[in-house]
Structure 1
Amino acid sequence: MMATVLCRMSGVVLAAGLLFATGCNQAKITEQNGISAADARTIAKEAYIYGFPMAANYQTMYKQAIDTTNHDYQGPFNTLHSSKSVATPEDKFVVTPNSDTPYSYLWMDLRAEPLVVTVPKIEPNRYYTGQMVDLYTYNFAYLGTRAYGNDGGTFLVAGPGWNGATPAGVKAVVRSETQFAYIIFRTQLFNAADLPKVNKVQAGYQAQTLSAFLKQPAPATAPPVSWPKIGDLPAGVDVFPYVNFLFQFCPPNPSESALLARFAKLNIGPGQTFDMSRFSPEIQQAIKDGVKDSDADLGTVMKKINTDQISSGEMFGTRDFLKDNYLYRYAGAKLGLYGNSKQDALYFGYFVDANHQPLDASKSNYELHFSKGDLPPTKAFWSLTMYDGKTQLLVANPLKRYLLNSTMLKSYKFGPDGSLTLYVSRENPGPVRQANWLPAPDGPFYGVFRVYLPGDTVMNGTWRKPQMRPVPAK
């Protein structure tokens, strides 16, 4: 996808400068009356690492379910919408999107009553998944091939305050610890000609309120929300007002009482109003420095990724799985928001080459070599997708080819020894190699190698990704 309520929320209003006031009186804090600059710096870093994923999640929710003028608007809460094709460079709703599986989206408002979600029965060889994400970006549950098979079914998704009985005909009840949550459906596309079949599957994804499912009168509607506007992803201290706003929809989790008490010293957390002007100049600088310190922490994680010490499997999952590792959750949100839990997919990032140099197609070409038998074992499929290093989006190219994957194996050119080499470059490598070519931008880039329903050797780390080898550009 939790918090200690420090004062009762009495209504949310949007004030100037994105200060989301909550009716709590808060005294000005200085280094003389409660916190030192050193403590402020440490707390600000912790709070930023904790809160950034929430703000990034809110940005997507705002674009897709609230701002009707946005290019990425999908529809109101509790209505399910599907993209009729895979992602392209024009899709900017989230960084590092996959282009293997057309998406379907469902933003859920669970305050008044639960939602009932129905998925259709589909052919056994087609992978699909319904990833459930709460406001913290924890993956709290799954529908789909791995979780429930491909026979379909009806499921009830409830918010934290619901205590009703399980209705007849419901296969399972899934609980979100936050009052708003997200379901992202991914449906495997085998090839371009397969798109109508995928769209038929997507049409079978249905959502309705519990009262509509039971054909009963609806309960009282939840109060309207004054949603704070959000454009570009907020940076620095601008993250904190959004985090404070979101906490009203996140009931307290006892495990975080002490942590949120620390955050409250900087007016961050449930019932708080963050305002830099309340602090002395020394504390203001300490807060800015603390946020900046998060870059070094992210750099440490990146070193572990680039040396294959950790993978996406450590960054995405349930609250229990992540065990309060907020840094890994932050890194996951920075690198690719809404990554799957490792049981459904593992992501292997290519950010540096075999010589540990940043990938840059304006300076070099690259090759990815798999010896015979070294392709990753998977119960679904694998893919290598290209992303622009500056925008973190898919790369436009004349072939409109954004990835290479295992469903394309018959089209690849294999070596005489059964090996497979994939070519990554800005320029077309020529007709002999074009089938194995992944176009890159004229500059920095990164790649993500996804393995869906990974086999045991991928899960336990026995299988290792090949290195991206630089070769001179011709």
Structure 2
Amino acid sequence: MKKIRRTIPLFRACAALAGVALIAGCASAPQGAGSKGNGWVKDEVSDSYVFGYPLVLMDISREAATGNAPGQAALNTLRHAQSLPPVGATTPPEPNLDTLASSGWLDVSREPVLIALPDTHGRYADARALDMWTNVLWSTAAKGNERVNGLKAQTIAFVPAGWKGTLPARAKRVDVTTRYVWFLARIETRGGGDLATARRVQRGIRVAPLSAWNGSGKRVAQADPQTGAGLAGDPVAAGTPAAQIAALDANGFFNRLALALEDNAPSPEDPHALKILGDIGVHPGDSVQLPSGTKDAAGVSTGFADGRARVATPPSNLLAGNGWLWVGDDAGNYGTDYALRGYAAYASPGLPTIRDEARARVAQDSDGHTLNGANRYVIHFSAKQLPPVRGFWSITAYTPEGALDSDASVRVAFGDRNGARRNRDGSLDVQVSAERPRGGANWVPVPKGDFRLVLRMYAPKPQATDGSWQPPAVERQ
């Protein structure tokens, strides 16, 4: 891909900050090295970390997932989950127990890359593609393409911006401004004998660059479960990209960001954020030169720590209710809300749009106490408060680190597909406990220590993400 450079004007435009959630306040532009105060450096390093975190996470994820080693796959191929994740699974965080996933990284630097999805014959499935800034470029739930009872066969062409050429008939063109694209397809499964049917759907997915497309498509590379290449759950990449970022110091992080910026241009809405990067010595494709004076070096260190804390902190514009938190209508399409984008990348890598899925979390009971498996809880859904979905919903318990319980004898995502027993008035009581309750109905098994719950709503209705509906509180018994 042609090297992309942006010319950034040497001034700071405060007006550009109107409506931008990331940058609070507008510092005066430094007129020279001597005017750079410790506070100025701290703020701009922190802002730049929040701005760049999604790109660095995606770049590390791509690097970890692509190659020829076990657990990796070449660019422009897919890796298929062969089974649901086992108890104790830690990668990716909050493994998905509802679907089998097919995941891959596409390189569109030279030519379009095409993906053909098969008809799923009524089985729920979804697919999405993210650019390197974690924005959802395309999904099967895009307006005009919404289907709950399975997908129809379709072909999508991911095309480098500005490309002129001819695509196969009926292929939907999706223009991409970053070199790489992360593609993820999920097929509903109940596990057990049902896995074989889900795998057949996976085998029908085809991917190839345009030059290798022959009408039926090049056969996708298959994961080999004997070599450890088979995935489980909702993969982002092999390894732990978030842990790799946590191990980087300021120079390591911003050097990684500068290299990734060279091939993965940000949005045209981002010139002010790029100006701030330039102010602290970060330019696409170049080695970084962070401020190094005694006071400025302290500002870099403090700002870097502050940026890390900010991406891990839920922003104020998350939806919240009864202790639950979830991303609302802006999921997958963040614009200049860098704080929300950074947090979503940190907490839910690859988060879909609201038409695909809404994902709510809770770690405290109705009294504000941390959820713990030594206690028993109930979640009471009134007849009119059941999760509003066009697809289905589930609740899964994880450790505070996002792992499935390693001591559990079973792995369960309880939901409306599990024979949920309603009360006579149509309400539903979900039992949350480490030990199976009497009768065993409507049970979410949890770790014996601290835990959190994740409510997944597939193909949610608008009220699930516009703030008009809230999940009920988790009540301690």
In the alignment, is the contact (CA less than 8 A) between 1:113 and 1:209 conserved in 2?
A: yes
Deviation at 1:91, TM superposition (A): 4.7
8 A contact 2:318–2:325 mirrored in 1: yes
Question: Displacement, 1:206?
Answer: 0.4
String of CA shifts for 1:30-63, please: whole Å, max 9, x gaps: 9844622111111111111111122222232222
> Residue in 1 aligned with 2:198?
198
Between stretches 449-458 and 86-95, larger displacement belongs to 86-95
Deviation string 1:361-396 (CA, Å, 9 cap, x unpaired) is: 34x33221112343123211001121210x222223
Task: Quote how far apart the aligned CAs of 1:330 are.
Answer: 1.0
Q: Map 1:48-67; keep pairs closer than 5 Å.
A: 48-66=49-67
RMSD: 3.0
Q: Secondary structure at the match of 1:301?
A: coil
In the superposition, relative to structure 1, how do residues 357 and 284 fare at CA in structure 2: closer, same or farther (>3 Å)?
farther
Asked if 1:425 corresponds to 2:433, the answer is: yes
What is the identity percentage for the equivalent residue pairs of Structure 1 and Structure 2? 21
How far apart are 1:103 and its partner, in Å?
Answer: 0.5
Q: Which runs of 5+ in 2 are unaligned?
A: 9-29, 216-239
Q: Distance in 2 between matches of 1:32 and 1:200?
A: 62
The answer (yes or no) to whether the contact 1:4–1:254 under 8 Å persists in 2 is no
Question: Is 1:4–1:260's contact at 8 Å kept on the other side of the alignment?
Answer: no
Relative to structure 2, which stretch is displaced further, 53-62 or 297-306? 297-306
1:113 pairs, out of 111, 114, 118, with 111
Q: Against the structure 1 CA distance between its residues 429 and 168, is the aligned structure 2 distance closer, same or farther, given a 3 Å change threshold?
A: closer
The alpha-carbon distance between structure 1 residues 307 and 381, as it changes in their structure 2 partners (threshold 3 A), is closer
Match of 2:363 among 351, 368, 372: 351
- Is structure 2 residue 346 aligned with structure 1 residue 334? yes
**Residues 1:136 and 2:139 aligned together:** no
Residue 311 and residue 269 in structure 1: after superposition, are their counterparts in 2 closer, same or farther (change >3 A)? farther
Q: Which amino acid aligns with 2:458?
A: Y
CA contact (8 A) 2:41 2:296 kept: yes
Whole-Å separation in 1 of the counterparts to 2:179 and 2:165:
16
1-structure distance, mates of 2:64, 2:438: 42
Shift of the 435–64 alpha-carbon distance from structure 1 to 2, 3 Å rule, reads farther
Task: Please tell me whether the aligned partners of residues 381 and 452 of structure 1 are also in contact (alpha carbons under 8 angstroms).
Answer: yes
Deviations 1:260-313 (A, max 9, x none): 11111212241332355x612321221222233342575452795554796322
Q: Is the 8 A contact 2:128 2:352 kept in 1?
A: yes
Change (3 A) 1:197 1:214: closer
Q: 3-state DSSP class of the match of 2:46?
A: helix
Evaluate the alpha carbon distance shift between residue 5 and residue 81 of structure 1 in structure 2; reply closer, same or farther with a 3 A threshold.
Answer: same
Across the two proteins, how many residue pairs are aligned to each other?
421
After TM superposition, the structure 1 = structure 2 runs for residues 307-386 of structure 1, keeping only pairs within 5 Å, are 307=321, 311-314=326-329, 316-318=331-333, 322-362=334-374, 364-386=375-397
One-letter code of the match for 1:163? K
Distance in structure 1 (CA, Å) of the matches to 2:244 and 2:124: 32
- Counterpart CA distance in 2 for 1:119 and 1:130 is 9
How far residue 314 of structure 1 moved from its aligned partner, in angstroms, is 4.5
3-state SS of 2:161 partner: coil
TM-score if structure 2 supplies the norm length?
0.80
Counterpart selection for 1:285 from 269, 290, 298: 298
Distance in structure 1 (CA, Å) of the matches to 2:289 and 2:404: 37
Aligned CA distance change for structure 1 residues 183 and 90 (closer, same or farther; 3 Å): farther
Query: Aligned residue for 2:464?
Result: 458
Number of the residue aligned with 1:127: 124
Partner of 2:222: none
Residue 231 of structure 2 corresponds to which residue in structure 1?
A: none
Match 1:80 to one of 78, 81, 84: 78
Residues 445 and 231 of structure 1, relative CA distance in 2, 3 Å threshold: closer
Equivalent residues of 2:179, 2:263 under 8 A apart: yes
2:97 aligned to which of 99, 108, 112: 99
Displacement of 1:153: 1.6
User: How far apart are residue 202 of structure 1 and its match?
Assistant: 0.6
Q: For the residues of structure 2 that align with 1:202 and 1:468, how far apart are their CA atoms?
A: 37
Partner Cα separation in structure 2 for residue 30 and residue 49 of structure 1: 25
From the two aligned structures, give the one with the greater helix fraction.
1
Q: Distance in 1 between matches of 2:255 and 2:173?
A: 33
Distance 2:184 2:372 in 1: 32
Counterpart code for 1:55: V
Distance change >3 Å, CA 451–CA 399, structure 1 → 2: same
Are 1:63 and 1:93, in contact at CA under 8 Å, matched by a contact in 2? no
Q: Tell me: CA distance 1:358–1:152, structure 2 relative to 1, closer, same or farther (3 Å).
A: same
- The equivalent residue for 2:234 is none
| 2:57–2:242 Cα contact (<8 Å) kept | no
Counterpart AA for 2:101: Y
Could you tell me how far apart the structure 2 residues matched to 1:89 and 1:60 are? 23
SS in 2 for 1:155: strand
2:12 corresponding residue in structure 1: none
Distance 1:369 1:323 in 2: 36
Tell whether the 8 Å contact from 1:118 to 1:153 is kept in structure 2 after alignment. yes
- Under a length normalisation based on structure 1, what TM-score does the superposition of the two structures give? 0.80
| Deviation (angstroms), 1:416 | 4.4
The CA distance in 1 between the partners of 2:108 and 2:314, in whole Å, is 37
Q: Distance in 2 between matches of 1:449 and 1:379?
A: 15
**For residue 288 of structure 1, what is the amino acid of its counterpart?**
S
2-structure distance, mates of 1:90, 1:69:
23
Q: 2:406 aligns with which of 392, 396, 419?
A: 396
The answer to whether the aligner puts 1:36 opposite 2:46 as a matched pair is no
Q: Which residue, 249, 273, 276 being the options, matches 1:262?
A: 276
- What secondary structure does 1:332 align onto? helix
Deviations along 1:316-365, whole A, 9 cap, x unmatched? Answer: 223xxx22000001111121111111011111111222122332334x33
Counterpart Cα distance in 2 of 1:273 and 1:193: 53
Q: CA deviation at 1:413?
A: 4.1
> 1:340 & 1:393 partners in 2: Cα distance?
21
Q: Equivalent residue of 1:234, what SS?
A: helix
Is 1:435 aligned to 2:441, yes or no?
yes
Retained in 2: the 8 A contact 1:372–1:417? yes
Deviation of 1:431 after TM superposition, in Å, equals: 3.8
Unpaired segments of 5 or more residues in structure 1? 8-28, 216-228
Cα distance change on mapping 1:181 and 1:42 into 2, 3 Å: same
Distance of 1:399 and 1:436 partners within structure 2: 17
Q: How does 1:210-225 map to 2 (within 5 A)?
A: 210-213=210-213
Q: Separation in 2 of the partners of 1:145 and 1:293? A: 36
SS of 2:173's partner is: strand
Whole-Å Cα distance in 2 between the matches of residues 361 and 351 of structure 1? 12
CA distance in 1 between partners of 2:355 and 2:396 (Å): 20
CA contact (8 A) 2:4 2:262 kept: no
Separation in 2 of the partners of 1:340 and 1:55? 19
CA contact (8 A) 1:141 1:174 kept: yes
Q: Is the 8 A contact 1:367 1:424 kept in 2?
A: yes
